[in-house]
Structure 1
Amino acid sequence: MSAAVVPARRLRGGAWRRFLRDREGMSGLVVLVLFGLVAIFASLLADPAGLEVTKADGPLAAPPSGAYPLGTDHAGRSLLTMVIHGSQVTLLVGLAATVISMVLGTLIGITSGHFSGMLGGGLNRLTEWFLVIPYLPLAIVLATVFPPDVPKLIAVIIVIGVTSWSGTARLVRAQTMAIEARPYLERARALGGGHWHQMTRHVLPNVMPLVLANTTLTVSLAIIAETTLSFLGLGDPLRVSWGRILDEAYSQAAIDRGAWWWILFPGIAVVLVVRAFNMCGRALERILDPRLEGKP
């Protein structure tokens, strides 16, 4: 059996059945499904009008009660409504930025691992440059200098995506170089297979399990990045996200007011989603990498 087709087969029904038997992975998946349903049906679960300050009619900075299960903010808006609708922006930014990061990381990683000389070396130096540059300051600088005519939400997605691909590229490059030394790649080259054929038909299927497992971990990092940028006031001011809720809580001195609920509940939402993605990622690593099977 050709080694090139093994990873593709491991991604089929057998891998899914093993995932269903993985308690950690299934626990994370259940949490993600619940938050996904909340984001999809946010308008049905909570009236979007409750996000407008002018239409808020609740008590100011009130603790959790029967009428407001998660309490209210300084304007009298229900924190439950804000957390529900904030899940849409936070998950959208996390998933969209991860797609950009994975595409860039996979493309650059395979190319730098496949080609030698100036092209491969140059891409490797670029990857190392992004790895050594502090991630958060770079993201803050890019978010600050982004053209003002670009929607802020799109800008945040692009900034997170283009600053978080280097780790994936490094992993993919190492895997690509290991695959390049296998006999079937030598046979493909001897039979006249070009670079595109080798990279797409032999290398890409072998690195996809690694990319898939790393994707779930990257989503959690992208969500943390969005929360951080929004907390620093660099997010979309017209949309509610969990990071923006925390930013408003900080700017309105929620700690000094004793409004613990204003910080606790959006913080818990971030922690749960990030932890759930990490749990799914760890499960996928164990399933797709035979060397990790049976390890906790």
Structure 2
Amino acid sequence: MTPPVGQHAESSPEGAVEGPRGLVWARRRRAVARFWQQYRTHRAGLAGLVLLVVIAVVALAAPLLVGADSQSVTGAAGGPLEDPSGSFPLGTDQFGRSLLALLVWGTRVSLSVGLLAAFLSVAIGTLVGITAGHFRGWYATVIMRVTDWFLVMPTLVLAIALATVMSRSIWTTILAIGVTTWPTTARLVRAQTLAVESRPYIERARALGGGHRHIMARHVLPNVMPLVLAQTTLVISTAILTEATLAFLGLSDPSIVSWGGLLQDAREAGAVSSGNWWYLAPPGLAIAVVALAFTLCGRAIESVLNPKLGERR
């Protein structure tokens, strides 16, 4: 016996999607599947993703891999500035601590600062870009002139100024990076917002009574999120490099082990003049590898979301 019309989806043996919300989630799952299928074709992006997964696992498993007391100066097991050996594969620092253990612990700090600072930067840039593209008029003029001022000012100089006048902590570093690196995101998001709001369905939404919040949250934001995602991966690499620079200049929390802090300790210990390469090379290479991995992922995401960009390359 044939079921009545409208009940076929509910009685489907495969559990077909029910209701508007289910349709939305099904559509999102298909979009994610398509994205991953296209992303896998980019070998460089896939290599960057594998590197990031490995680095993230190392950061999460740091207490298990090297022990929670490996950062302690009083509990150091080696002598000052020992050469690499079986006991200490990367040698020791001036306090006798294993540099390999410190490098693993520094992964946590560098990744955490990079992710949180990038999130803050992209959040500010997205908010400024969407509101400037939506409201326009005097508000857009004022806010974009402020954005232009931040763009022409050297980001590192602003970050150093903020880190100098504020207390030295990891949160100060995150804040200093986040509030100085958002203008590029704001410019990109504003341009995308203007393109989205010129489409006919935005006019229909306004005609049906959609307010500013509805249009920005339900129509503009979903359309700019792919751009924001790609921009985030690129900002993370910049944030990690900036954090390392601030730590190298002695403007971060000296009690926290980070890759930039290891470079600063190596400089103070005279590793450059004494030729202790094992003190300098590993933190520098780690910073370069993580920044490169995020950049590769960001470029691959850009190519997937904008096929014309990939064709030009």
- Aligned residue in 1 for 2:16: none
The reply on whether 1:112 has 2:132 as its aligned counterpart is yes
Name the structure 2 match of 1:212.
229
Counterpart AA for 2:220:
V
| Conservation of the 8 A alpha-carbon contact between 1:11 and 1:288 | no
Structure 2 unaligned runs (5+)? Answer: 1-26
Unaligned runs of 5+ in 1: 1-6
Within-5 A mapping of 1:1-296:
11-146=31-166, 148=167, 152-294=169-311, 296=313
- Greater RCO structure (CA 8 Å; 6+ sep): 1
Q: TM-score, normalised to structure 1's length? A: 0.93
Query: Partner amino acid for 2:281?
Result: L
Deviation at 1:50, TM superposition (A): 2.1
Structure 1 runs (4+) deviating above 6 angstroms are 7-10
* SS of residue in 2 equivalent to 1:50: coil
Q: Which has the higher helix share?
A: 1
* Separation in 2, partners of 1:99, 1:70: 33
What is the CA-CA distance between 1:74 and the residue it aligns to?
A: 1.4
Return the offset for 1:291: 1.5
Show the counterpart of 1:4.
Answer: none
For these two proteins, the number of residue pairs brought into alignment is 287
* 1:104-130 C-alpha deviation (Å, 9 max, x unpaired): 110000001111222111111111111
Secondary structure at 1:30's aligned position in 2? helix
Q: Retained in 2: the 8 A contact 1:286–1:295? A: no
Given that 1:8 and 1:206 are in contact with CA atoms closer than 8 Å, whether structure 2 keeps it comes out as no
**1:60-102: CA deviations, max 9, x gaps?**
2122211111111111111100000010110000001111111
3-state DSSP of counterpart to 1:163: coil
SS of equivalent to 1:49:
coil
Q: Which of structures 1 and 2 has the bigger CA Rg?
A: 2
SS in 2 for 1:54: coil
Per-residue deviation, 1:9: 7.7
TM-score (norm 2): 0.88
Computed over aligned residues only, the root mean square deviation of the Cα atoms, in angstroms, reads 1.6
Q: Percent identity?
A: 52
